[in-house]
Amino acid sequence: MEKKGKLSFFIKRIKEGRLKEMMNQTMWIYQYARHYWVAMIFYTLLGLVGTVIGLGSSVLSKDLVDIITGHKTGAVVKVFCMMIGLNIGTSLMNQISSYVSSWIRMKVDSEIKADIFSKILVTDWESLTTYHTGDLLTRWNSDASNISSGVLNFVPNMVIYSFRFFSAFAIVIYYDASFAIFAFLGIPASLLLSKTLMRRMVNNNKRSAALGAKLSGFNQETFANIQTIKAFDLLKLYVARLKQIQREFIDMSLEFQRMSIGTSLLLSTVGLLVSYASYGWGIYRVWSGAISYGTMTMFLSMTGTLTGSVNSLTSLVPTAISLTTSAGRLMDILEMPREDYSQDEETANFMKKYRKKGISIELKKISYTYHTGTEVFDGADFVAHPHEIVALVGPSGEGKTTLLRILLALLLPKEGKGVLYDGGEEARSSQHVDLTPAARKMFSYVPQGNTMFSGTIAENMRNVNPDATDEEIIEALKMACAWEFVEKLPAGIQSEIKERGGGFSEGQAQRLSIARSLLRKSPILMMDEATSALDIATERKVLKNIMKDEYPRTCIVTTHRPTVLNICNRVYAIRDKKCKVLDEEEIQQMIHDF
């Protein structure tokens, strides 16, 4: 009945797809491992050489004991010197192996993380937003490190431990086959306990990863919003929440630790029993004259080596579980839809050819519904040309930001399409390119909120235009009405900006963001409520500066405030899931109602 139950368990797991899932995850890991086969072979060879030296030391110890007990003083010095040489060789090999493996591991870790990082950045934006930032960081950092370590260690260690076991077993068989029985006494217990440990390991890895991501996300979100937490006096609440997550993590860790301790104690007990049985059998064989004292000493050493090799091999099973769990968590993200950059070269050539004339942008009969089922657009049209400021107005939640995300190809319409073409109404029939992620090189974008990075003002500006001169930076700051406060700073454009724009007011940070987007000299500028923290006079001045600029820029703005609509060339309102062009009367009515 017991065997039938175990069989049913494995059949159930296979039907659930766990075996197939682990195989897929293993093949995914292999895609990385195959790039580092030279490193793995080198690491394996170091381990094998170390094993040979260790086994050689055990055999020499036999000869040394036999020489001493046999009073063959003439050979003592020679064997003793060989023992010292092998021990020094073992220590040296261990140090070399440790150094080389650390170097390889760091190199592999960096390369794998860089690869995964680059793949995450080109993952479909909407799909990626289903994950918390803290969870993404945990997967990229912890899971990627687990993979990089496993790629280097798992296969080499399996080869090394197997070689160590069979080599020691061969030596035991060569000198006295009866000792092989004792070498295998601890194997059934090791396998049985490792099976229990493996089952618990699967659950623990998943729980640990989930709690680690939860804790990382909590910390990241707390520190990012510490001003709000202070403002609402939520300090005690957030400290209590942290302690609760920590308790959950500690309870889970201690539960697994207790199970590991119990398993280790049982394995240690089995190991002691095997050792004492080996001692007893060795003493008997020595007394009966079947073996020498040196042979018995070697057998005791080999028994430990055999038991240790088996334990090391069985410990690779939990390691495999951990690796496939990490692989599965990364695959969840990396196998999401990727952004399409296949038109990158075509788009780059298009921009190079037409950017001096200006580039128009048009959406044709687009329809879009979020993954949540919320329909935002149904057959909407939109167009903007160089030297125009086109406004999108309306209350929050109507789709203004969604439209900008479609223009940036962060969201792809379910129907209809977006195109970019040679600027001007008369050029609609000329060469054009589709609106794809590759087209983002033609955009400058000022999103809602504070988007400045830590570093100097100049460094922030040069993020989007590395070759910009100080004069060009100052000119962009003047256009955005930011130079009036930057020039008063002791360090000017070399003044430091703290994290999330710290050290500047919201209005100042907004003007710096606008200046940065202007410095990029992109054909299309989009500002999403980017002047919301400015007073009306400054807002109008910034937009007028953009209009007066000779650069053929297509400017699209979203705003809640209709006070700047009189200087816009065209005003769209999102109504009934379409973009409606407002006439002069409707614009004036909006201004009056505001």
With cut-offs at 50, 70 and 90, classify the pLDDT of residue 185: low
Q: Give 527's contacts (C-beta < 8 A, 6+ positions apart).
A: 445, 446, 514, 517, 555, 556, 557, 558
Stretch (H or E) spanning 384? strand 375-384
Higher per-residue pLDDT: 19 or 46: 46
Q: Which residue has the higher pLDDT, 5 or 407?
A: 407
- Cα R_g (the chain), whole angstroms: 35
Is pLDDT larger for residue 189 or for residue 216? 216
Q: How open is the CA angle 125-360-371, to the nearest 5 degrees? A: 25
554-559 vs 389-393, strand pairing mode: parallel
* Residue type at position 143: D
H or E segment and range at residue 390? strand 389-393
**Residue 407, pLDDT score:** 92
DSSP letter, residue 418: E
Residue 207 to residue 201: CA distance in whole angstroms: 10
**CA 466, CA 458: separation in Å to the nearest integer?**
10
**pLDDT at position 97:** 73
447 has pLDDT over 90: no
- Looking at residue 11, its pLDDT comes to 47
Alpha carbons 297 and 220: distance in angstroms, whole number? 57
The proportion of the chain whose per-residue pLDDT surpasses 90, expressed as a percent, equals: 11
Give the position of tokens 């309102």.
573
Does the pLDDT at position 141 exceed 50?
A: yes
Minimum mean pLDDT among 158-162, 231-235, 485-489: which range?
A: 231-235
φ, ψ (nearest 5 deg) of residue 232 = -90, 5
Q: Is the dihedral of CA 125, 129, 133, 135 positive or negative?
A: negative
The predicted structure's pLDDT at residue 277: 75
Which has the higher per-residue pLDDT, 69 or 488? 488
458 confidence band (pLDDT: 50, 70, 90): very high
Tokens found for residue 280: 């007893």
Asked if pLDDT for residue 525 goes beyond 60, the answer is yes
CA 99 distance to own-chain centroid: 26
What value does the mean pLDDT of the chain take?
79
**Region of poorest pLDDT, from 10-14, 359-363, 443-447:** 10-14
Q: Kindly report the number of other CB atoms within 10 A of residue 116's CB atom.
A: 21
- How does 412-431 read in b/e, with b if 16+ C-beta sit within 10 Å? bbeebebbbbbbbeebeeee
**How far, in Å, CA of 299 to CA of 305, rounded?**
10
- Range with the lowest mean pLDDT among 38-47, 192-201, 235-244, 318-327? 192-201
Please answer whether residues 310 and 187 qualify as being in contact, where contact means their C-beta atoms are separated by less than 8 angstroms.
yes
Q: Is the pLDDT of residue 12 over 60?
A: no
Where does the pLDDT of residue 17 fall: very low under 50, low under 70, confident under 90, or very high at 90 and above? low
Question: 120 by DSSP, 3-state: which?
Answer: helix
- At 13 the pLDDT is 47
Q: Are 214 and 134 in contact (CB under 8 A)?
A: yes
| Whole-number Cα distances in Å, 80 to 67, 84, 175, 289 | 10, 6, 22, 25
Q: How far is CA 473 from CA 444, 480, 522, in A?
A: 15, 11, 15
Q: Is residue 393 pLDDT above 50, yes or no? A: yes
pLDDT at position 267: 67
Residues 6+ apart with CB under 8 A from 121: none
Q: What is the mean pLDDT of residues 260-279?
A: 71
Report the SS3 class of residue 158: helix
Of 12-16, 51-55, 552-556, which has the strongest mean pLDDT?
552-556
Flag whether pLDDT at 471 surpasses 90.
yes
CA 473 – CA 465 distance, rounded (Å): 10
Angstrom distance (rounded) from CA 230 to CA 233: 5
- Per-residue pLDDT for 1 more than 60? no
Helix axes 536-548, 470-479, angle to 10 degrees: 130
**Domain spans of the chain, in order of start:** 12-334, 344-450+523-593
Residue of 518 and 65 predicted with greater confidence: 518
φ and ψ at residue 211, rounded to 5 degrees: -70, -35
Residue 70 CA to residue 453 CA, distance in Å, equals 78
Angle value at C-alpha 448, between 447 and 452, nearest 5 degrees:
70
pLDDT of residue 373 exceeding 60: yes
User: If 0-12 CB within 10 Å is exposed, 13-18 middle and 19+ buried, where does residue 369 land?
Assistant: middle
When pLDDT is cut at 50, 70 and 90, the band that residue 5 belongs to is very low
Measured distance CA(163)–CA(174) in Å, rounded: 16
* pLDDT score for 304: 72
Strand pairing report for 389-393 and 443-446: unpaired
pLDDT category, 9, cuts 50, 70, 90? very low
**Least trusted range by pLDDT, from 118-127, 146-155, 486-495:** 146-155
Q: Report the alpha-carbon distance of residue 269 to residue 379 in Å, rounded.
A: 74
Pairing of strands 443-446, 432-434: unpaired
Phi-psi region of 481 (alpha: psi -120 to 50; beta: other; left: phi over 0): left
**CA 247-251-252 angle, 5° bins:** 120
Phi and psi (nearest 5°) for 220? -60, -45
| Cβ 534 vs Cβ 511: under 8 Å | yes
| pLDDT the model gives residue 73 | 53
Q: Is the dihedral of CA 256, 262, 265, 269 positive or negative?
A: negative
Q: Which of 297, 56, 39, 274 is nearest to 149 (CA)?
A: 39
pLDDT digits (tens, 9 = 90+) for 32-52: 777 778 878 887 888 888 788
Does the pLDDT value for residue 14 go beyond 50? no
Give the residue carrying structure tokens 């080999």.
302
Mean pLDDT of 254-275: 72
What is 344-450+523-593's CATH topology?
Rossmann fold (3.40.50)
pLDDT in tens, 75-103: 666 666 776 777 777 777 777 777 777 77
- Spatial contact of 50 and 93, defined as CB atoms under 8 Å apart: yes
Which two tokens mark 12? 């159930």
User: Which comes out higher in pLDDT, residue 214 or 244?
Assistant: 244
Coil, strand or helix: which one is 372?
coil
C-alpha dihedral over 565, 569, 574, 579, to 10 degrees? 170
The helix/strand/coil state of 366 is: strand
pLDDT at 293 over 80: no
Asked if residue 329 lies in contact with residue 209, where contact means CB atoms within 8 angstroms, the answer is: yes
Taking a C-beta distance cutoff of 8 angstroms, is the pair 553, 386 a contact?
Answer: yes
Q: Is 2.170.120.12 the CATH number for 12-334?
A: no
How far is Cα 430 from Cα 422, in angstroms, rounded to an integer?
Answer: 7
Task: Say if residue 74's pLDDT is above 60.
Answer: no
Helix (H, G, I), strand (E, B) or coil at 594: coil
